[in-house]
Amino acid sequence: MTSISPRSVDFHCHLDLYPDLRLAVLACEEAHVATLAVTTTPKAFRRNRDLTRQAHYVRVALGLHPQLAAERASELPLFEALLNETRYVGEVGLDASPNHYAGFTEQVRVFRRILMACAKHGDKILSVHSVRAAKAVLDNVEELLPPGRGRIVLHWFSGSLSEARRALSLGCYFSVNERMFASPSARKVVSILPRDRVLTETDGPFIERDDGPIRPGDVSKATSDLAGLWGVSEDAARVELVRNLRELLVP
Ligand code: MN
């Protein structure tokens, strides 16, 4: 992501959940958006990787989504086998919302295995989901993935202010999307983040706009919302966000 100069950053997008993965990759390439293409199962990784081999701006993360972790725990060995093929891991994490709480114990087991594997490899960057589970995510990160062994980017963080402060003290980054600005509590969390720990994301295609799902790499609204919060121009916010990405990627 650092070899060329991106215009903006989408650090969490499910390119393979759009109708045409090739077109989704192309959209990010043409707009020069440094994009992290997260995946939800290890089996999805290879196709994403194969379709992004020539990409300048898109990188693929190896994932095992917490909402699928309980039923796909059998793919953990595949996850571990593929881990040396990418520096990026995601979407991983924990989800304690009512629909997923039944499998929470299994989610924790899977997430811990992933954190241990990442710590063993070293130098991985993880995009982490933490819905209703910020404390459990941070407890496991603190125990198993010290800052010298990997980096955490908390995606669409919905934890409390004190949990956000704890995450900052553990070295975490935050990828922020436009929907967070519609929630007073999430907005408050974003407002306390040091600017140099912030990235943007779309979480496409899961964010809906009036005319359909958010487009891959379209962080324009998240960027302008951050610019407003920071009291800077959109261009200045973009420059800051790209700088943050470069800093995150320094080994
Ligand atoms: Mn996601």
Q: How far from chain centre, in Å, is Cα 81?
A: 21
Distance 12 CA to ligand 1 centre (A): 6
Q: Compute, in angstroms, the gap from residue 14 CA to the centroid of ligand 1.
A: 6
pLDDT (0 to 100) of residue 155: 98
Q: Radius of gyration over alpha carbons of the chain, in Å?
A: 17
pTM of the entire predicted model: 0.97
pLDDT at 2: 46
Query: Rounded distance, CA 75 to CA 207, Å?
Result: 28
Measured between alpha carbons, how far is 69 from 160 in angstroms, rounded to an integer? 25
Q: Where are the strands (E) in 168-248, listed by range?
A: 173-176, 198-200, 208-209, 212-213
Q: How far is the CA of 231 from the centre of ligand 1 (A)?
A: 28
Q: Consecutive 10-residue runs of the chain (251 residues): their mean pLDDT?
A: 80 98 98 98 98 97 97 96 98 97 96 98 98 98 96 98 98 98 97 98 97 97 98 98 97 81
Taking the centre of ligand 1 as the mean of its atom positions, its distance from the CA of residue 170, in whole angstroms, is 22
216: CA distance to ligand 1 center in Å?
A: 12
CA of 148 from ligand 1 middle (Å) equals 25
Q: What is the helix, strand, coil percentage profile of the chain, to 5?
A: 50, 20, 30
